[in-house]
Structure 1
């Protein structure tokens, strides 16, 4: 997928040019902007396949932009930032970023992470396609998943979910009452080569609980999550 388009959001023109040059050399196409507001316009008009996102931006910052994107899509997001504090990395992951790279960074390392993210994204969608062929729908109480159409219904009403939210629900509904560890869910939803924090799982569950009132996703303290079986 070297014809993938990488969106670069970086207000430093020097860094922006270097990142573009290395990605072009690798065979990627790029669209670069210097503000999150311009990036949002780009998202509406011609969305890229992956974001390389700076945090410290004029106007809307990278965290807010990441959160806004996550309300609509699970497109891969790699955050680049001069801030190296653990709390900043954790916040980025909790808001939905897939990776975090601290400035100054090696352009070659960034390209390697982009390559890994693009391959994982392709593999992730291949798995989705296989799942769609095997099961037409899943149901647990008031929760129904149409696998073929990738639609979710709760108490008879359709609820919009992102790709990762759908994947997590599909895993839990397909094996109700089974406790999954955070690490296991991380690998199943994000891929085997994901090396981010398992806090991403907690954030995904938190988002689902907000969207579905009284959804029977239970926390298994110190371990992970399970979905209790309910009759229709």
Structure 2
């Protein structure tokens, strides 16, 4: 796998930033260290990284809020790190969109291994679209141009993240089929994802916010489906 990825390490502890960056640079990753979420937001707007290593307890905007904001825009992998070894904190981080969670103090070697795994997963997710046999899917007012990774609703182009796009593609390829949350986790995140299945609910909530009339409906006690016979 190409390791020439650009990784941002966001932590107000300079020692931790320097340590993580040193291990990543040994693996030929390009890195930048930042001490606040505000600096990280500026970086995203000017030179977005391929991955974030993000501390939760930051001055000003905390890691949770930054994760929430960035996840609404893109699906760049995020590994949260925190001194909090609390299940509630881990679940909140995963539900807000982080891909992994590590508790301080942690092994830098383990962090590097998890970073490699997340980048591989993201690369495989991109291939789900690239390997599609047809370039176009149309379901009512919904249109997906697969090779171009573009989505249109009622003729208007929608701006979706990569996971939002893959989720819509899964539904559009099997309209009216009811998917379980576990099936959707595997199809969108990969078979080695270990976070909460509420990540599905949050992803669909974001899609509905961007495409208010999209005919995705909950199937009580089961999961979700894309209905083709709903009024649009």
Flag whether TM exceeds 0.5 (same fold): yes
2: distance between equivalents of 1:91 and 1:113?
A: 19
Gaps of 5+ in 2: none
Match of 1:198 in 2: 197
Alignment of 1:177-192 (within 5 A): 177-192=176-191
Q: Detail structure 1 runs of 4+ shifted over 4 Å in the superposition.
A: none
Deviations 1:66-115 (A, max 9, x none): 11111221010001111222222222122111111111211111111001
1: distance between equivalents of 2:225 and 2:101?
A: 29
Deviations 1:32-53 (A, max 9, x none): 1101111111112221111000
Question: What TM-score results when the alignment is normalised by the length of structure 2?
Answer: 0.94
Alignment of 1:117 with 2:118, yes or no, is: yes
Would the aligned equivalents of 1:140 and 1:230 in 2 still touch at CA under 8 Å?
Answer: no
Kindly state the Cα deviation for residue 152 of structure 1 after the two structures are TM-superposed.
1.3
Would the aligned equivalents of 1:164 and 1:189 in 2 still touch at CA under 8 Å?
Answer: yes
Kindly state the Cα deviation for residue 19 of structure 1 after the two structures are TM-superposed.
0.9
Kindly state the Cα deviation for residue 159 of structure 1 after the two structures are TM-superposed.
1.5
Kindly state the Cα deviation for residue 26 of structure 1 after the two structures are TM-superposed.
2.1
Alignment of 1:52 with 2:57, yes or no, is: no
Q: How many equivalent residue pairs?
A: 230
Deviates more, 1:176-185 or 1:88-97: 88-97
Deviations 1:163-205 (A, max 9, x none): 1001000100110111111111111111122222211111101
1: distance between equivalents of 2:150 and 2:141?
A: 14
> 1:71 is paired with a residue of what secondary structure?
helix
Would the aligned equivalents of 2:179 and 2:223 in 1 still touch at CA under 8 Å?
Answer: yes
Alignment of 1:139-178 (within 5 A): 139-178=138-177
Would the aligned equivalents of 1:10 and 1:35 in 2 still touch at CA under 8 Å?
Answer: yes
1: distance between equivalents of 2:62 and 2:140?
A: 41
Gaps of 5+ in 1: none
Question: What TM-score results when the alignment is normalised by the length of structure 1?
Answer: 0.94
